[in-house]
Amino acid sequence: MTHLEPHYRMTPPDRLPAKEKQPVHAVLHNVRSAFNVGSIFRTADAGAVTRLHLCGYTACPPNAKLQKTALGAFDYVPWTHHETLADCINHLRSEAIPIAAIERVEDSVPHTRYEWPRPVAVVFGNEVKGLTREELDAVDTVVSIPMLGHKNTINVATAFGIVLFDILRRWQAV
Ligand SMILES: C[S@@+](CC[C@H](N)C(=O)[O-])C[C@H]1O[C@@H](n2cnc3c(N)ncnc32)[C@H](O)[C@@H]1O
């Protein structure tokens, strides 16, 4: 019996046709779970994100757990590791990219009412602690996802998917 290689392994990235990137930079700060990071890589590929910025102790490729949920997507999504979130913010500022933290705090704007700038950088935080007040104060805006149930927050990879596809829909890219 012949076992076919999964499709994601069949075409090396340098042999893929060039795809237009969307001017979205996604920043993950201290996201502990490699499974969450892998899932975000996969969604970032689906939305043609320009670059993933992996800050602090966020898992970076190569990593077996990350590979499991990314299913090879990190070959297609450019990424950079920054020692600190401040380093990353300085880099984005040097490129004049507006920065929105994604966090559910009192002074945040619901994503349904936020006019996403283009380009944009969106910052996501740790699964337990989220982003600190100091980190939120270092960006331009704080945007939240409305919660209609009993819990205050959702999984960070799910939050990433909601935000990314809201941006793309508003830009009429999807
Ligand atoms: C599970 S949350 C962090 C925990 C949260 N700080 C708390 O107090 O429960 C992980 C990350 O997902 C994103 N997130 C999850 N739910 C969100 C929501 N409703 N609005 C905005 N961001 C959200 C944020 O980036 C957050 O830093």
Q: Answer whether 158 contacts ligand 1 (Cβ < 6 A).
A: no
> Domain for residue 23, yes or no?
yes
How far apart are the C-alpha atoms of 64 and 22, rounded to whole Å? Answer: 28
Mean per-residue pLDDT over the chain, rounded: 90
pLDDT single digits (tens) 70-79: 777 777 899 9
How far apart are the C-alpha atoms of 171 and 76, rounded to whole Å? Answer: 22
For residue 12, the model assigns a pLDDT of: 65
Shortest-distance Cα residue to atom 17 of ligand 1: 153
Instruction: Report whether pLDDT(5) > 70.
Output: no
Give pTM, 2 decimals: 0.91
DSSP H or E stretch at residue 160? helix 156-170
pLDDT single digits (tens) 6-58: 444 455 667 777 789 999 999 999 999 999 999 999 999 999 999 999 999 99
Q: Answer whether 156 contacts ligand 1 (Cβ < 6 A).
A: yes
> Domain for residue 14, yes or no?
no
Query: Rounded to the nearest whole angstrom, what is the distance from the C-alpha of residue 19 to the centroid of ligand 1?
Result: 31
Q: 22 — phi, psi (to 5°)?
A: -90, 140
How far apart are the C-alpha atoms of 122 and 27, rounded to whole Å? Answer: 6
Strands, sheet with 120-124, edge to edge from the N-terminal-most edge strand: 79-82, 49-55, 22-29, 120-124, 99-102, 141-144, 109-110
How far apart are the C-alpha atoms of 91 and 85, rounded to whole Å? Answer: 10
> Domain for residue 121, yes or no?
yes
* Tokens found for residue 89: 């913010």
Range of the domain at 121: 19-170
> Domain for residue 1, yes or no?
no
Q: In which region does residue 140 sit, left (phi positive, over 0), alpha (psi from -120 to 50) or beta (all else)?
A: alpha
> Domain for residue 70, yes or no?
yes
Q: How many domains does the chain have?
A: 1
Q: What is the mean pLDDT of residues 79-87?
A: 96
Q: How confident is the model at residue 2 (pLDDT cuts 50, 70, 90)?
A: very low
| Residue 130 DSSP code | B
> Domain for residue 7, yes or no?
no
Tell me, what CATH number does 88's domain have? 3.40.1280.10
For residue 13, the model assigns a pLDDT of: 65
Asked, as a colleague might, if the bond just before 98 is cis with ω within 30 of 0, I would say: no
> Domain for residue 96, yes or no?
yes
Question: Which residue has better confidence, 132 or 18?
Answer: 132
Question: Which residue has better confidence, 71 or 123?
Answer: 123
